[in-house]
Amino acid sequence: MIINQQYVELAGDTLNKVAISLELEVEALTHRITSIYETIEILRTYRVDELVDLLRKEGYRFPFNPDDLVSYYKDLSRVSTRAKTLIVELETKTAMLAKQHDSKGAEKIGRDHFESWLVVLSKFMGHNLNPDELTVARYATIMKHYNSHCEQLKAQTNGKKRPHR
CA atoms within 13 A on the CB side of 115: 3
Is the pLDDT at 108 greater than 80? The verdict is no
In terms of pLDDT, which residue wins out, 79 or 1? 79
Residues in the chain: 165
d(CA 138, CA 115): 15
Do 79 and 62 contact (CB within 8 A), yes or no?
yes
pTM above 0.85, yes or no: no
Domain ranges of the chain: 12-106, 110-165
CA dihedral 35, 36, 39, 44 (to 10 degrees): -150
Radius of gyration of the chain (CA): 26
Helix count and strand count (H, E) for the chain:
6, 0
CA angle 158, 159, 161 (to 5 degrees): 100
In terms of pLDDT, which residue wins out, 149 or 11? 149
d(CA 150, CA 144): 10
DSSP state letter for 116? H
* Sign of the torsion angle spanned by Cα atoms 69, 70, 75, 78: positive
The confidence band for 112, taking pLDDT boundaries of 50, 70 and 90, is: confident
Is the pLDDT at 126 greater than 80? The verdict is yes
Residue 58 makes CB contacts below 8 A (sequence gap 6+) with 32, 36
